[in-house]
Amino acid sequence: MKVALIGCGFFAINQLHGWQDATGAELVAVCDRDPERLRLVQEQFGVTRTYTDARAMFADGGIDTVDIATTVQSHRALVELAARHDVHVICQKPFAQTMQDARAMVAAVEATGKTLMVHENFRWQSAVRAAIDALRAGAIGEPFFGRVSFRSGYDVFTGQPYLAAGERFIIEDLGIHILDIARALFGDVRRLTATTRRINAKIEGEDVATMLLEHKDGVTCVVDCSYATRREPETFPESLLEIDGTGGTLRLDAGYRLTIQTPDGSETRDVSPPVLPWAERPWHNIQESVALIQQHFVDSVAAGTQPETSGADNVLTLALVEAAYLSAAEQRTVELSEI
């Protein structure tokens, strides 16, 4: 698989490393509007084809897949451009600015018969994955309650200053990941209630959100997110889980400790992610998940199967984001059928 990457900013460096490590894929081209970024990427990763115009890159051909790592405002135009050139597509989250855009992007790629995946990598963190696998294997019976939590005081604004300027912040940027973990664990959602707060006066959007989800299979789940939580030790960027089931309980605690308790006893495992050669703490769990989801995409295309976070699937996660903002604004429970 010959891969091109559009967007060489802060987070995309992880994707570049992930493509270098992927089995069955080769990074052949990169595109960014900033020539200096292109020069640095060319030096670091040895990519010889560099472009400041995506249309010129597609016109030159020789690409099987495009990985779109730009901000959301450009996603629809780039996905539809890729569809016109009949290539597979990976698109960074948030997938789209509106539900209408998201559905149009899915339709555009589906019409070509190619694969569309959203880079929703949090469910691919190896610690979270261990919990998902245990739950799906029936380790605690049928789940009936869950909590998916991400609370931190980490400064995410220095590396990504645009996050401080948007009207929307934590649900759109981080909560979308945590909501997707809830979907991976418990399935789709019937209704949602949300509250939000802005604690940090230096940002425009909300930095605290609490969401109550009623899943279609009967699970009640609390999803809570905060970038205003000061505590030691700092747990960034860990997602923590508590799940009650008919046959026991499961917890993913700080320090990557997975505990499963059943009537037969209790087992605690260390599910710490590896620190890849190009990764650094504390980002290493996120960085590993990038490599894992990109390999999942390559393997899915090779097998002719849909990736877990296909475009059509991610529309359902994006709907939870829209429902949360609507719920918080109107102070009411939102039925997902409204979205």
Helices (H), 48-98: 54-60, 75-84
Name the DSSP class of 267.
E
How many residues make up the chain in this entry?
Answer: 339
Helices (H), 265-333: 284-303, 311-330
The structural architecture, per CATH, of the domain 123-282+310-338 is 2-Layer Sandwich (3.30)
Please name which of 231, 216, 211, 103 lies closest in space to residue 148, comparing C-alpha atoms.
Answer: 211
Please name which of 14, 327, 302, 86 lies closest in space to residue 338, comparing C-alpha atoms.
Answer: 327
Across the range 127-137, mean pLDDT stands at 98
Going from the C-alpha of 17 to that of each of 28, 70, 104, 169, 300, the distances in angstroms are: 13, 17, 30, 27, 20
Residue type, 310: S
Note whether 2-114 and 123-282+310-338 share their fold: no
Pairing state between β 265-270 and 257-262: antiparallel
Per residue in 211-262, pLDDT (tens digit) is 999 999 999 999 999 999 999 999 999 999 999 999 999 999 999 999 999 9
Residue type, 311: G
CA end-to-end span of the chain, whole Å?
36
Per residue in 299-328, pLDDT (tens digit) is 999 999 999 999 999 999 999 999 999 999
Per residue in 261-307, pLDDT (tens digit) is 999 999 999 999 999 999 999 999 999 999 999 999 999 999 999 99
Name the DSSP class of 321.
H
Going from the C-alpha of 217 to that of each of 144, 155, 181, 213, 269, the distances in angstroms are: 9, 37, 16, 11, 28
Across the range 118-127, mean pLDDT stands at 97
The residue written with tokens 């200053």 in the block is 161
Q: Which two tokens stand for residue 338?
A: 């409204």
Supply the DSSP string of 10-33, one letter for each residue.
TTHHHHHHHHHH-TT-EEEEEE-S
Question: For residue 99, is pLDDT > 90?
Answer: yes
Question: For residue 37, is pLDDT > 90?
Answer: yes
* Band of residue 207 on the pLDDT scale cut at 50, 70, 90: very high
CATH of range 2-114; options 3.40.50.720, 3.40.50.880, 3.40.50.970, 3.40.50.2020: 3.40.50.720
Q: How many Cβ atoms from other residues are within 10 Å of residue 269's Cβ? A: 13
- Alpha-carbon span 133 to 120, nearest angstrom: 17
Q: Taking a C-beta distance cutoff of 8 angstroms, is the pair 300, 107 a contact?
A: no
* Band of residue 160 on the pLDDT scale cut at 50, 70, 90: confident
- Alpha-carbon span 278 to 100, nearest angstrom: 38
Q: Which two tokens stand for residue 162?
A: 């645009």
pLDDT of residue 159: 84
Phi, psi of 91 (to 5 degrees): -125, 135
Q: Taking a C-beta distance cutoff of 8 angstroms, is the pair 227, 152 a contact?
A: yes
- Alpha-carbon span 335 to 190, nearest angstrom: 6
The residue written with tokens 């979205």 in the block is 339
Q: Can you give the residue ranges of every domain in the chain?
A: 2-114, 123-282+310-338
Helices (H), the chain: 12-21, 35-45, 54-60, 75-84, 99-110, 126-136, 170, 176-186, 284-303, 311-330
Q: Taking a C-beta distance cutoff of 8 angstroms, is the pair 1, 65 a contact?
A: yes
pLDDT of residue 115: 98
| pLDDT more than 90, % of the chain | 98
Q: Which two tokens stand for residue 93?
A: 């989250």
Question: For residue 184, is pLDDT > 90?
Answer: yes
Number of H helices, E strands in the chain: 10, 15
pTM of the model: 0.96
